[in-house]
Amino acid sequence: MSALLPQHFAVTEAVVVAAGAFAMARTARINAWWAVGIAPFMLAALVGTIRISAGLAGEFELAHQFLSRAGAVFGLGCMIGVMAGRARWLAPVLGGAAGILAVLIPGAMVPTFLALTLVGAWLAYRAADRQARLVAASFTVLLIGRLATDPLRAAHPALAWHLFHLAVALWLLLLAIIVIPRLRAR
């Protein structure tokens, strides 16, 4: 997307901000690293909302892209570290390693995102009891949203933008309502 966007693009960014704030508030009480993992998604949307609403470009656009890409893999790494539950230091180390990898080797960002999402779904499935499929499927909504909207980006960029951001918001809500509470017992 280019620097100056129509104002309606800020609407679904704001929806992600609201969903992210709710998810962070709900998960911070369970494990602070869950909230830290969610933060880049919410912050990217907040920067996007401000950038689009105020008609800003340049540094705001770069901050939005950085948080949306490198921040996302950092956040997923933190979440996977919490879900693995082996040691307290695993979440920041895995998140940091994923974020650094995404910055130093930009071509590794998509495979890292895919791998972290699939590992997260697998860990969610293993950790959940009676509703394991629902929990694992809920964790993959972000990936499903990405895969479903990528083909639309060239022909229908506005539709792809809005659908992807609504998928991110749904994913954040599902994390807070379905995934994380069912993993809480770990």
Q: Mean pLDDT score of the chain, rounded to an integer?
A: 89
Residue-wise pLDDT tens digits, 99-146: 999 999 999 999 999 999 999 999 988 887 778 888 888 889 989 998
Q: Give dist(CA 66, CA 40) in Å, integer.
A: 9
Alpha helices in 2-84 (DSSP H): 9-28, 32-54, 59-84
Instruction: Examine residue 57 and state whether it is found in any structural domain, yes or no.
Output: yes
Over residues 52-71, the pLDDT tens digits come to: 998 887 888 888 888 888 99
Residue 167 lies in a domain: yes
| pLDDT recorded at residue 4 | 67
Residue with tokens 């609403």: 53
In whole angstroms, what is the distance from residue 108 CA to residue 122 CA? 21
The whole-model pTM stands at: 0.90
Expressed as residue numbers, the domain containing 78 is 9-183
- Total domains in the chain come to 1
In a domain, 1, yes or no: no
Q: Identify whether the C-beta of residue 5 lies closer than 8 Å to the C-beta of residue 48.
A: no
Give me the pLDDT at residue 87, please: 84
Q: Is residue 164 part of a domain?
A: yes
Residue 70: how many other CB atoms lie within 10 Å: 21
